[in-house]
Structure 1
Amino acid sequence: MRLSAPIYRLKQQARILARRNALPLHAALDRLAVDEGFRSWSHLATTASARSPAAVILSRLEPGDLILLGARPGHGKTLLGLELASCATQLGRKGFFFTLDYHAGEVAGLLSMLGINPAPEPDGTVVDTSDEVSADYIVSSLKRFEERVIVVVDYLQILDQKRTNPGLEDQIASLRRYVKAEEAICVVIAQIDRSFDLSGRPMPEMSDVRLPNPLDLSAFDKVCFLHNGRIQIDQAA
């Protein structure tokens, strides 16, 4: 059974329903769950989490993977990236989320939307919103930790926006060397070109990844595309 909207959006709808009808939040959640065809919200959440995009990706990750995660705006790629970083402990790893697109308050809001209450460091996911984020910065930051890691980078197209940073090709090569040497896992979020919206295809393809600067996408081991709550995972080459 497919949900009418991603689970975080259903939670938002439940909050609105609770306010409008003076309902306890748990009652509003249960009402929405019944509308979706489930017995209760806990039934929906348990079923959905088992087949969620994050669960699908986690089941396919391998040490040394460099993964591209692409979607159009509004389809949840940043939320999915945060969820992957927050679920790193499921694979016995430490999670990191590096972003050039959001400040700390916005990331906290996104985590709240996901229903995630991050544990404080050093045990919790590390969120870094520095303007200095680049491949060299990421690798240097990770060298301070001995644990195996899952790293999420948000996002590909602005890694080389600062002129003092190396080109995109060099940065992805640097990340690839790091994940192979350390058996890390790195997910790089990427924008999909708006021309995809007019293509009529159900899912993006490699040719739809927006590349303002040259980059050989075969540097990635796997590519994940997210669209309308569905996910497709392929080998890059």
Structure 2
Amino acid sequence: MPSPSNDHATTPATTVSLLNLDRPKPHNPEAEIAVLGAMMISPDAATAAFSSLKFEGAFYRPAHQIIFDAMLALSADKGNASMDPVILADHLERSGRLEEVGGRSYIVQLMDSVPTAANIDHYLDIVRQNAVLRRIISTCTDTIIHCYDCDEDVHQLLDGIEQRIFEVSGMNESKDLLTIQPLVEDAVTYLEKLIDGNPDVLGLSTGYEVDRMISGLRPGDLFVLAARPSIGKTALALNIAANIAMGAKPVPIGFFSLEMPAQQLVLRLICSTARVSLSEFRNKTLSNSGWMDTLRACDMLRKANIVIDDTGAIDILELRAKARRMSNKHGVKAIFIDYLQLVRAHTNRNASRENEVSQISGALKAMAKELSVPVVVLAQLNRQAEQGEKPKLSHLRESGAIEQDADVVAILHREREKQLSQKEDDGAGLDAELIIAKNRNGSTGTQELLFFPRFTRFENKSRISEADIPDQ
């Protein structure tokens, strides 16, 4: 039996040897030659190759990558002429790389090696798949070596690994080059639908009339919902999340609850959806109709795809890792975070709070773009927001980085004192305002709402009538 010391004696070099990673990585030289040759004889083949292989390390042989990069560099100035072997050779000679790729004779040989470009898609697929395999091997090898000789925090290491895996996934996706004519036609169709209020061209609907200002929650956007404590920002976030997850076109959402346990979050969702008060259960005053409404709400929530994580004081790197898993495993289309000031930054001990918030908000914006989903993050306002005037952007705690990174900043405002004078069983709504203080792609303004503290629920003020208010 080997001694324990031998178990820990493995080094990066022996790891590579054990895994036999010193052998040539996957490649197909004939397919690479076929791609370059087809590009020289067919402009369409060149266009397809530029779209499919425009990433680092697409070709295994360095000479082939140099030739491809030269074609790409020339294409903007020369157009289809950039594929001409004479012009290509001249460009490589002036850049001092002609002999490096095998000289003029090798460039001509590439063109002569392919009689037709009809099979370009097949050639491209072979080259791209081998490039993906090589990148996976490199990522896994680097990961193994870093794990043996890790000089950074494990959370940072995991975040970096997951980010590189996502980059590898993107290599296998290609986009065609586009001309402006069909894009203009698509734009006109989009504008027509926008005028008609077609929901297909809007972001995810919040369920509130504020959608007219912000065009819904759009993929890649960072939406900040800010308020002072006990104003109802968690309630509004839950209402929006429920509207998305249980709307006319329900979609999966993820909810990070740093302050409230998952069970309590679900109880609030049930009561808000059913329009009943939790105190009615405690006081045993719930009516039969209220119980039936509760059961219907439970049935609706069972069918909804809502993923909850209630890790307290979560690290931003751990949050991003979990968000990626939510996206991969559950296909979430929107992520809610309650709330920003409870997220921990991964900084050194001497970093200021402003630096921490800057890292957090920047990471959340990057996460929204990486996952292509809207990220709704709740935030606290400072005490100055309660000094007589309506709250504004400068009242955000550590506001500089949040203002910069956010695409939309919505500030929830209402008179908190009116709720204090309201009886527990009072079902009347209280006036509230949702102030759109920043909107990168639209207008700013104020949307009036009604808040029902008894049910922790917000409604559009313009759509509420006496018949909509539950019996008291």
Same fold (TM > 0.5): yes
- TM normalised by structure 1 equals 0.65
Quick one: which of 217, 233, 236 aligns to 1:77? 233
8 Å CA contact 2:382, 2:396 repeated in 1: yes
Quick one: which of 98, 116, 119 aligns to 2:301? 119
Cα RMSD, aligned residues only: 3.2
Q: Which runs of structure 2 are paired with 1:5-154 in the superposition (5 Å)? A: 51=208, 59-89=215-245, 90=247, 93-115=251-273, 117=298, 119-120=301-302, 123-131=304-312, 133-144=314-325, 145-146=327-328, 147-154=331-338
Quick one: which of 200, 205, 210 aligns to 2:397? 210
Q: Percent identity?
A: 23
8 Å CA contact 1:67, 1:188 repeated in 2: yes
Instruction: Determine the C-alpha separation between the residues in 2 that align with 1:176 and 1:51.
Output: 24
8 Å CA contact 2:253, 2:306 repeated in 1: yes
Q: Could you give the per-residue CA deviations for residues 191-227 of structure 1, whole angstroms, max 9, x where no partner exists?
A: 11122111333xx21111123x973521111101111
- TM normalised by structure 2 equals 0.35
1:174 aligns with 2:358: no
| AA at the equivalent of 1:106 | Q
- Given the superposition, is the C-alpha separation of residues 83 and 140 from structure 1 closer, same or farther in structure 2, using an over 3 Å criterion? same
Instruction: Determine the C-alpha separation between the residues in 1 that align with 2:348 and 2:309.
Output: 19
**Counterpart in 1 of 2:434?**
231
Measured after TM superposition, the shift of residue 157 of structure 1 is 1.2
Q: Could you give the per-residue CA deviations for residues 164-216 of structure 1, whole angstroms, max 9, x where no partner exists?
A: 89932222212211211221100110111122111333xx21111123x9735
8 Å CA contact 1:64, 1:179 repeated in 2: yes
Measured after TM superposition, the shift of residue 106 of structure 1 is 2.2
Aligned positions, number:
184
Measured after TM superposition, the shift of residue 128 of structure 1 is 1.1
- Given the superposition, is the C-alpha separation of residues 103 and 148 from structure 1 closer, same or farther in structure 2, using an over 3 Å criterion? closer
- Given the superposition, is the C-alpha separation of residues 127 and 153 from structure 1 closer, same or farther in structure 2, using an over 3 Å criterion? same
Instruction: Determine the C-alpha separation between the residues in 2 that align with 1:113 and 1:56.
Output: 28
Instruction: Determine the C-alpha separation between the residues in 2 that align with 1:124 and 1:57.
Output: 27
Instruction: Determine the C-alpha separation between the residues in 2 that align with 1:200 and 1:171.
Output: 29
Instruction: Determine the C-alpha separation between the residues in 1 that align with 2:212 and 2:272.
Output: 17
- Given the superposition, is the C-alpha separation of residues 57 and 148 from structure 1 closer, same or farther in structure 2, using an over 3 Å criterion? farther
Instruction: Determine the C-alpha separation between the residues in 1 that align with 2:228 and 2:212.
Output: 19
**Counterpart in 2 of 1:17?**
none
Between structures 1 and 2, the one with greater strand share: 1
| AA at the equivalent of 2:371 | E
Larger radius of gyration: 2
Between structures 1 and 2, the one with greater helix share: 2
Name the structure, 1 or 2, with higher relative contact order (CA <8 Å, separation 6+): 1
**Counterpart in 1 of 2:40?**
none
Instruction: Determine the C-alpha separation between the residues in 1 that align with 2:207 and 2:337.
Output: 24
8 Å CA contact 1:69, 1:187 repeated in 2: yes
Measured after TM superposition, the shift of residue 161 of structure 1 is 7.4
| AA at the equivalent of 1:124 | N
Measured after TM superposition, the shift of residue 153 of structure 1 is 0.6
Quick one: which of 381, 399, 405 aligns to 1:219? 405
Instruction: Determine the C-alpha separation between the residues in 2 that align with 1:186 and 1:142.
Output: 10
- Given the superposition, is the C-alpha separation of residues 164 and 52 from structure 1 closer, same or farther in structure 2, using an over 3 Å criterion? farther
| AA at the equivalent of 1:63 | P
> Which runs of no fewer than 5 residues in structure 2 stay unpaired?
1-205, 274-296, 350-354, 415-431, 442-472
Give SS of 1:110's match: helix
Give SS of 2:334's match: strand
Measured after TM superposition, the shift of residue 111 of structure 1 is 1.3
**Counterpart in 1 of 2:153?**
none
Instruction: Determine the C-alpha separation between the residues in 2 that align with 1:58 and 1:96.
Output: 21
8 Å CA contact 2:345, 2:360 repeated in 1: no
